[in-house]
Amino acid sequence: MAVKIRLRQQGRKNRQTFRLVVTDIRNPRDGKYLETLGSYDPHSAKNNLQLNTERLNYWLSKGAELSPSAERLVNGVAPEVIKALKSQKNASRVKQAAQRRRLKKAAPIAKKAAKKEAVPASSAKDAESAEESKKRRTTAKKTKAKDES
């Protein structure tokens, strides 16, 4: 199940408030959710975002992804969480790039080895067919020579 942390609209018209929720990506914006992580009130001046960072870290460790708007809000309240998340993503990208480089480096070596193995097999067949045709030609020449004499 793909899980996303995103904002859920609450409140009345022209007076929206939001909840930061963990939900399955297939659910609609204001639909069913797994857990509420916090709330955001854009109309209040102070403390407009309450957030449970412990539960946020838990869900991020389980593989949940932050929506862009939720990421901006969390970055304002708990920047260390976002920094840790970005460093973790960067480390995995570096690891994947190193693995791709190793595979790319190993591929030409494997191709060369395969060519070396393939060349003798094909050249052996060519050598055998060349010897057979040479034998046929020499026997044909011998029979012609015998017929003429």
Q: Tell me, yes or no, whether 99 lies in a domain.
A: no
Q: Tell me, yes or no, whether 145 lies in a domain.
A: no
**Domain tally for the chain?**
1
Q: Tell me, yes or no, whether 122 lies in a domain.
A: no
Q: Residue 12 above 80 pLDDT? A: yes
User: Residues 61-65: contacts with CB within 8 Å, 24+ apart?
Assistant: 62/3, 63/3, 64/3, 64/4, 64/5, 64/22, 65/2, 65/3, 65/4, 65/5
Whether the model pTM is above 0.85: no
Q: Tell me, yes or no, whether 129 lies in a domain.
A: no
Q: What is the pLDDT of residues 79-129, one digit of tens each?
A: 888 888 888 889 989 999 999 988 888 877 767 677 666 655 555 556 677
Assign residue 41 the CATH number of its domain.
Answer: 3.30.1320.10
Q: Tell me, yes or no, whether 85 lies in a domain.
A: no
Q: Tell me, yes or no, whether 140 lies in a domain.
A: no
DSSP 34: S
Domain range for 38 is 3-77
Q: What is the pLDDT of residues 126-140, one digit of tens each?
A: 667 777 777 777 766
What's the sign of the alpha-carbon dihedral 29, 31, 20, 14?
positive
Q: Tell me, yes or no, whether 60 lies in a domain.
A: yes
